Amino acid sequence: MAKFEYAPAPESRAIVSIKESYGLFIGGEFVPGLDGRAFKTISPATEEVLAEVTEAGPADVDRAVSAARKAYEHTWSQRPGKERAKYLFRIARIVQEKARELAVLESLDNGKPIRESRDVDIPLVAAHFFYYAGWADKLEYAGYGPAPGPLGVAGQVIPWNFPLLMLAWKIAPALACGNTVVLKPAETTPLTALAFAEICQQADLPPGVVNIVTGAGETGRALVEHPGIDKVAFTGSTEVGKQIARACAPSRKKVTLELGGKAANVMFEDAPVDQAVEGIVNGIFFNQGHVCCAGSRLLVQESVYDEVLASLRRRLATLRLGDPLDKNTDVGAINSAAQLARIRELSEAGEAEGAQRWSPPCELPVKGFWFPPTVFTGVSQAHRIAREEIFGPVLSVLTFRTPAEAVEKANNTPYGLSAGVWTEKGSLILWMASRLRAGVVWANTFNKFDPASPFGGYKESGYGREGGRHGLEAYLDV
Ligand code: NAD
């Protein structure tokens, strides 16, 4: 099937005004860092410098934690839930009003297609604030006792794949429960968190309730190890999650970890092929595969293998890779040079270990960080590409004959974040779902999110749940 030629349809970037440099957001205002250090954030699609951002040192983190403590003790924890809810509703509405601007900013800083930031990320950010605003005055009915109280100050560290959405997952439930927060966005995608700081000002949120400190791993470490915080919420790699768990073990801090994944997307022979292929594509090529719950291992029943592979290849040939701001783009840029190097390294390991690599014909832009949609066949369970998280647009295909074999292979991973099942038989869906060791099991769909639905992992994918009523528990003293 040939690709239609479309004229370029770029979303205008004139709607965002990016400052040349940004300070830290502490105590309700932007302040310079104490030691004057800064780093640059770039557009991964063009390598253009977007802004200079302050690198917070330990003394800055200390200031932010003090501001959050003060706001917790004197203001936020004293406000009744219905008052806190008003601020969260206000934030949700401002996010909706600024949706276009936030979507363009996210696509510029992250490299994801505007269709995804516009239709998925930003609407879900607003939905999260609306959802938790609704809980703020009903916490006594959440099933955690008659008068559940907040924990105190939360230190929150997030990754770069869904920058503003991960912020919403962290901040909305924390504030609804009466906690104050210090949040550190990822070093490659700080801009929407800083735009969110401006939204907090616009919403008149009391100073110190939300503090944003920018920086890399060292800033994150200073935050999670700070003795003045009561709760650590981390989303990122399993490796860093383990370090954080070790660092917090001797303290009284409550910890939740949302880590990596290597999800199986299991396709049975009775599944409608075209619908399942759409789900497979969405499962691994959405957001360039920078998705912790991505369906990166396709398990396809042997009897339909040839048909599915042919259909998948046909579909991949129609994906458009390129300018993230173009409304027709399906696959955007890889978020950083470091992530591109990791994807390349693992893909080369796949070939070296004997798997067959295939990508559709696809022209990569000269500037920026790009990787074509890639499928590996002939993959065995021992291959690194079947075991390690690639966090890129790379699918490993394996086969199975019986449902029992599918379960065995799907669970043969140190991770357990998500899984997908494609079949027309409801009984088989339930049989599989009760055996798959994954926090989320999608049936005849993939990568579906809703603020009311809890999300989280088993095994090395972490512990604790975000979203839904379950997500409140992480921020309540229960
Ligand atoms: P990463 O662990 O390197 O970084 C995540 C965040 O932690 C960044 O803000 C980083 O600056 C900070 N950080 C780094 N070292 C730290 C330290 N020692 N102490 C405290 N903070 C530190 O991960 P990444 O490469 O940015 O993100 C990709 C990973 O995140 C993938 O493994 C992915 O699966 C995972 N992820 C998980 C979920 C989930 O909900 N389970 C969601 C998104 C991403």
- Give me the tens of pLDDT residue by residue for the chain, a chain 478 residues long: 556 788 999 999 999 999 999 999 999 999 999 999 999 999 999 999 999 999 999 999 999 999 999 999 999 999 999 999 999 999 999 999 999 999 999 999 999 999 999 999 999 999 999 999 999 999 999 999 999 999 999 999 999 999 999 999 999 999 999 999 999 999 999 999 999 999 999 999 999 999 999 999 999 999 999 999 999 999 999 999 999 999 999 999 999 999 999 999 999 999 999 999 999 999 999 999 999 999 999 999 999 999 999 999 999 999 999 999 999 999 999 999 999 999 999 999 999 999 999 999 999 999 999 999 999 999 999 999 999 999 999 999 999 999 999 999 999 999 999 999 999 999 999 999 999 999 999 999 999 999 999 999 999 999 999 999 999 999 999 9
Question: Which one of the listed residues 258, 389, 460, 466 is annotated catalytic?
Answer: 258
Question: Does ligand 1 come within 6 angstroms of the Cβ of 221?
Answer: yes
Q: Which of 201, 404, 161 is nearest to 286 (CA)?
A: 161
Establish whether residue 159 lines the binding site of ligand 1, counting it when its CB lies within 6 angstroms of any ligand atom: yes
- Given the DSSP bridges, would you call strands 418-422 and 440-443 parallel, antiparallel or unpaired? parallel
293 is catalytic: no
Atom of ligand 1 at shortest distance to CA of 389?
32
Q: Is the CB of 336 under 6 A from ligand 1?
A: no
Q: pTM surpassing 0.85? A: yes
216 Cβ closer than 6 Å to some ligand 1 atom: yes
- 181-191: burial string, b at 16+ Cβ within 10 Å, e else: bbbbbbbbbbb
Ligand 1, atom 26: closest residue by C-alpha:
159
Measured from the CB, is residue 257 less than 6 Å from ligand 1?
A: no
**C-beta of residue 157 within 8 angstroms of C-beta of residue 166:** no
User: Rounded to an integer, what distance in angstroms lies between the CA atom of residue 196 and that of residue 128?
Assistant: 14
What is the Cα–Cα distance from 236 to 161, expressed in whole angstroms? 9
Known catalytic residue at 258: yes
Q: Are 41 and 189 in contact (CB under 8 A)?
A: yes
Q: ∠418-92-155 over CA atoms, to 5°?
A: 60
Cβ pair 228, 374 in contact under 8 A:
no
Distances (CA, A) of 355 to 186, 343, 412: 33, 15, 19
- The SS3 of residue 233 is strand
Give, using CA atoms, the residue closest to atom 3 of ligand 1.
237
